[in-house]
Amino acid sequence: MMTGGRIGAGGLVGLMMLAGGCQITMSEDSIFGPPTPRGAQTVAEMDFRGQEKLTDPQSELAQSPALEGLLPATVEHGFVDYEGGRIAWSLTSAAGEDADRPVIVNCVGRGGDRPNGGVYYARKVLPWGDVLQFDYPGYGDSTGTPSIDAIKASTPAIVELAESRAGERPLIYWGHSLGGFICPRFVAASPQADGLVYEATALSVEEASEVWKPWYLRFLPIEMVPEKESEDGDNADPVRGFKGPILVVAGGEDHVLPDFLGRSLADKLERQGNDVTYVHMEEGSHVDIPLQPGFAEAAGPTIRRMKNIN
C-alpha cells in the first residue's frame, strides 16, 4: 500500500512499473488540495480577483443575458470566529431589492477559494439567489488546517452566519464537487434550510475514489483508496428526513466525477424518501454545468420550489 503525497518524476516511473495492481491511499491533504492561503488580516484586505466584473455596470458580465438585471452587484466581505480560528466569507447580493430572493450558501470544490474563484462561483449561482461564499479552514483568508475535523468545528459558525444573513428569505445550500460532501452536513445542522443542490459530486468518498485521480495519474491503471472510511455515512445520509426539494446535477462531459456518480447519489436520495430531482446536462463539464444552455429550463422549476418550507 502506498501513501498519498507529493510524487516526483522518479516516483511516477516507479508507479508506471507497478501499475498492474497498485493502490494509492488518499490522505486528507490529497482530498482537500488546498491552494496557497492568502491570509488577509483585515476586512479591508479582502476582495475577489476581478471583483469589478461583478460591481462595474459596464463589465462584460453585466452584459450577460443570464445576469440581466442582477448586476452591478454588491459584494460584502467579513470574518466569523469559531473554536478553531476564523472563517472568511463574502456575500454577493444582486442589484435591486427582492424580499423573496434566496440566500445560497456555496460550498466550493477541491482547491477552490474566495479570492481566486469568488467571481466565477458568484457568476454561476447569482441567477438563483444572493451568494454566500466562505473559505474552508486553511483556504484563502481563513485560518486553520484543511481537514474533516476543522470543517466539523466550523460548521456551527457558518450555519449561524448563513441563517442570520438569510433572515426571512429562503436559504439554499449548494455544494459543488468536494462541496457536495460538505453542504449536506450544513443542511443537517441548519433548521432554516429550504433546499439543497448537489453539483458534479458523488455519493461517497468510496465511490468517488474508484474514478478520481490527480491529473498526473489519470493515464495509469491505479486505484485510489480513501485513508479511512467516513464515520458519519455517505452524502445522502445527513439529509434523511429533510423535507425540502433537492437537486442533483451532473454533466456528460465531467471527467473528474463522471455523471454516473451523480445518478448513484440521486438514486440513494430517492430510496430514502427525499424530494429529489436529477438533471443531466449532456455537454456539462466538471465546472460549468449551471452555465449550460437549457440548465435554467431543466433545473429552474426545482430551485424555485425551494421557498421557505419551514
Split into its structural domains, the chain has a count of 1
Burial classification of residue 13, based on how many CB atoms lie within 10 Å of its CB (0-12 exposed, 13-18 middle, 19 or more buried): exposed
Report which of 107, 164, 159, 156 is spatially closest to residue 136, judged by C-alpha positions.
107
- Residue 96 falls inside a structural domain: yes
pLDDT per position as a tens digit, 218-254? 444 445 455 555 567 899 999 999 999 999 999 999 9
Per-residue pLDDT at 26:
54
d(CA 84, CA 120): 28
Q: What is the pLDDT of residue 209?
A: 79
Task: List Cβ neighbours of 24 (8 Å cut-off, separation of 6 or more).
Answer: 2, 3, 4, 217, 222, 223, 224, 225
- The pTM for the full model equals 0.87
Which CATH number do you get for residue 165? 3.40.50.1820
For residue 29, is it within any domain? no
**Residue 31 resides in a domain:** no
Is position 247 within any domain? yes
Give every residue of the chain whose pLDDT is below 70, as ranges.
Answer: 1-31, 212-231, 309-310
Cell of 212: 478520481
The per-residue pLDDT for 308 is: 75
**Residue 244, phi-psi category: left (phi > 0), alpha (psi -120 to 50), beta (remainder):** beta
Is residue 131 in a domain? yes
Domain with 274 in it: 40-214+229-304
**What pLDDT is stored for residue 6 in this prediction?**
39
pLDDT at 82: 96
- pLDDT for residue 218: 47
Compute the half-sphere exposure of residue 162: CA atoms within 13 Å on the CB side of its CA: 32
Q: Is residue 296 part of a domain?
A: yes
Q: 4 in a domain, yes or no?
A: no
pLDDT number for residue 35: 84
Indicate whether 220 belongs to any domain: no
pLDDT tens-digit series, residues 109-125: 988 999 999 999 999 99
